[in-house]
Amino acid sequence: MAKEFELNDVEVWDGNYAASQALRQAQIDVVAAYPITPSTPIVEGYGAYVANGYVDGEFVMVESEHGAMSGCVGAAAAGGRVATATSSQGFALMAEVLYQASGMRLPIVMTVVNRALASPLNVRGDHSDMYLGRDSGWIQIDAFNAQEAYDLALCAFRIGEHKDVRLPVMMHQDGFTTSHKAQNVYPLKDSVAYKFVGDFVPVDDMLDFSRPVTHGAQTEEDWHYEHKAKQHKALMDSRTVIDDVFAEFKEITGREYKRVESYMMEDAEVALVLLGSSVETAVLAAKQLREEEGLKVGVVAPRCFRPFPYDLVREALDVPSLKSVCCLDKSAPGGAMGALFNEVSAAAYSTKARPMMTNYIYGLGGRDFAVDEAKRIMREQKAHADAGHITTDIQQFSGLRGPKLGFFKTRRD
């Protein structure tokens, strides 16, 4: 039996260590992993638990991230709890198998520490890897700080392994700003955490030979479409399970999570929509602007990136006073508007107020996003609101050196 890990009521953990503790407490059967900055400490932390008797399961250090996710799929099909961790290039190398894992309906949990994608090579945090996964059929949940990285990793097992879901789950946190920043974290005791996560219940278990199963069959035009539609339905239907798991987690811990977090939106005239560790920056900026300048600023943060909470985003933005919304994308848009802008705009289109929508690209490759920058963008939204039209290009780049870069003007005829 695995030893109990003595924990204080309050620990000082960074996001990586918080995630690795959650993996330990879930008593995973197989972790197949490969190290990559900035998520390496999750794997190293887990390795230390293995070496010191805190884990009963197998720890398989494979030869690549593609191998890591392949190993997770093989292990998960053999009927046990499976998890891994990765970032950036490793995530990109896994891309093929991410689709296979979700298509085979295997509830793998992956803690992703978000990092930029090369080229140029960059180890710092942005959301390029998270965005790369957005069509992969995984549930994607976003933690904004180390406490959330711990809490949501525990929730991820409950959500993915739920009998009505049976899908893999990514638990995201921002590289370095969350993963390497130590802060107070309130952990659960091992027994309480495991009771919350629960025993793994195998489905279509390859090690149950009384009922042979074929995993990973081929379908062509006759059945592929139905399979993918069914998979999409399972992903969409996971929304209520996510809500239930968050509600149960609140009962145990008092910490409340929602698929869309919304701050000071009740009377907001302008709003920022963004993801990850920048949410706390934006909330602080909004509070200060409300106090210092009387600007009615709100912040909306989709915690659940997939399934995208279209209805809850619409609800959050359906505020009669709301005039201008800026969506901030921390990923190189590659010849389009930012992905968050597109999805949030789609939701905002059917609100009554139908606010003006603008897009900022920011923070690529770990470029700092500070309170002053958030305030500047908020004031710019206020200028749009006062003018009654978008006074800048619709898509702009924040914090970029050199001449101002922007694209697309509002039609005003």
Partner 1 sequence: MAITSIKNLKEFSTNNDRFEGAHLLCPGCAHSMIVRELMNCTDDNLVIASNTGCLEVSTAVYPYTSWDTSWIHIGFENAATAASCAESMYKARKKKGTLPDADAPVKFVAFGGDGSTYDIGFQWLSGAMERGHDFTYICLDNENYANTGGQRSSATPVGAHTSTAQAGSTSYGKKQKKKDMVAIMAAHGAPYVAQLAPNKWKSMAKGFQKALETEGPCFINTVSACTTEWKFDPKDTINVTDLATDTLMFPIYEIIDGHELNILYRPKNILKVEDYLGAQGRYRHLFKSENKHIIERIQKDIDEKWEFLQRREEARI
Q: Taking CB under 8 A as the rule, does residue 29 contact partner 1?
A: yes
**Mode of pairing for the β-strands spanning 395-397 and 406-407:** antiparallel
Which window, 39-47, 55-63, 170-178, 376-384, contacts partner 1 (CB under 8 A)? 55-63
Give me 53's structure tokens.
Answer: 């008797």
Residue 183 interacts with partner 1 (CB under 8 A): yes or no = no
Query: How many residues touch partner 1 (CB under 8 A)?
Result: 47
- The amino acid present at 242, given as its one-letter code, is I
Q: Verify binding: residue 257, partner 1, rule CB under 8 A.
A: no
- The secondary element (H helix, E strand) that includes residue 297 is strand 297-302
Least distance between partner 1 and beta carbon 62 (Å) = 6
Cα–Cα distance, 257 to 241 (Å, whole number): 13
Give Cα 98 to chain centroid, integer Å: 15
Decide if residue 85 touches partner 1 (CB under 8 A). Answer: no
Q: Does 332 bind partner 1 (CB under 8 A)?
A: no
Query: Tokens 């996560």, residue?
Result: 197
What is the closest distance, in whole angstroms, from the C-beta atom of residue 2 to partner 1 in the complex? 10
**Residues forming a β-bridge with 298:** 271
Between 224 and 354, whose beta carbon lies closer to partner 1?
224
Which member of 52, 184, 219, 240 binds partner 1 (CB under 8 A)?
A: 219
Q: Is 50 in the site for partner 1 (CB under 8 A)?
A: no
Residues 224-253 that bind partner 1 (CB under 8 A): 227
CA Rg, the chain, in Å? Answer: 21
Handedness of CA 339, 351, 140, 97 (dihedral sign): negative
H helix or E strand, kind and range, residue 86? strand 82-86
List the one residue from 71, 168, 333, 338 that touches partner 1 (CB under 8 A): 71
Q: What's the residue count for the chain?
A: 413
Phi first, then psi, for residue 216 (nearest 5°) are 80, 40
Reported as type and span, the H/E element at residue 146 is helix 146-161
Q: Which of 18, 22, 42, 75 binds partner 1 (CB under 8 A)?
A: 75
Q: Site residues for partner 1, window 296-325 (CB under 8 A)?
A: none
Query: Any contact of residue 400 with partner 1 (CB under 8 A)?
Result: no
Spatial CB neighbours of 393, under 8 Å, sequence gap ≥ 6:
406, 407, 408, 409
> Which positions ≥6 away from 333 have C-beta within 8 Å?
339, 361, 395
Q: Which of 8, 209, 251, 402 contacts partner 1 by CB under 8 A? A: 209
Q: How far is the CB of 90 from partner 1 (least distance, A)?
A: 14
Q: Which of 60, 132, 264, 346 binds partner 1 (CB under 8 A)?
A: 60
Using CB under 8 A as the binding rule, whether residue 107 contacts partner 1 is answered as no
- Rule CB under 8 A: say whether 95 interacts with partner 1: no
Least distance (Å) between residue 270 CB and partner 1: 47
Q: Is 342 in the site for partner 1 (CB under 8 A)?
A: no
Structure tokens, 313: 């985003």
Nearer to partner 1, 45 or 67 (CB): 67
Which whole-number Å values give the CA distances from 103 to 28, 227, 241, in the listed order? 22, 8, 19
* 93 sits near partner 1 (criterion: CB under 8 A): no
Complex with partner 1: residue 200 or 257, whichever CB lies closer? 200
Say if CB 71 and CB 30 are below 8 A apart: yes
Q: Which of 53, 198, 216, 388 binds partner 1 (CB under 8 A)?
A: 216
Residue number, 57 or 125, with CB nearest to partner 1: 57
Least distance CB 320 / partner 1 (angstroms) = 51
Nearer to partner 1, 71 or 125 (CB): 71
Among 182, 191, 223, 376, binds partner 1 (CB under 8 A): 223
How far apart CA 228 and CA 136 sit, in angstroms, is: 11
Q: How far is the CB of 165 from partner 1 (least distance, A)?
A: 21
User: Which helix (H) or strand (E) element contains residue 281?
Assistant: helix 278-293
217 touching partner 1, by CB under 8 A? yes
Q: How many CB atoms lie within 10 A of CB 336?
A: 11
How would DSSP label each residue in 7-43? Answer: --SSEEE-HHHHHHHHHHHTT-SEEEE---TTTHHHH
What is the binding site for partner 1 (CB under 8 A)?
A: 29-30, 32, 56-58, 60-64, 66-67, 70-80, 82, 96-97, 100, 104, 200, 205-210, 212-220, 223, 227
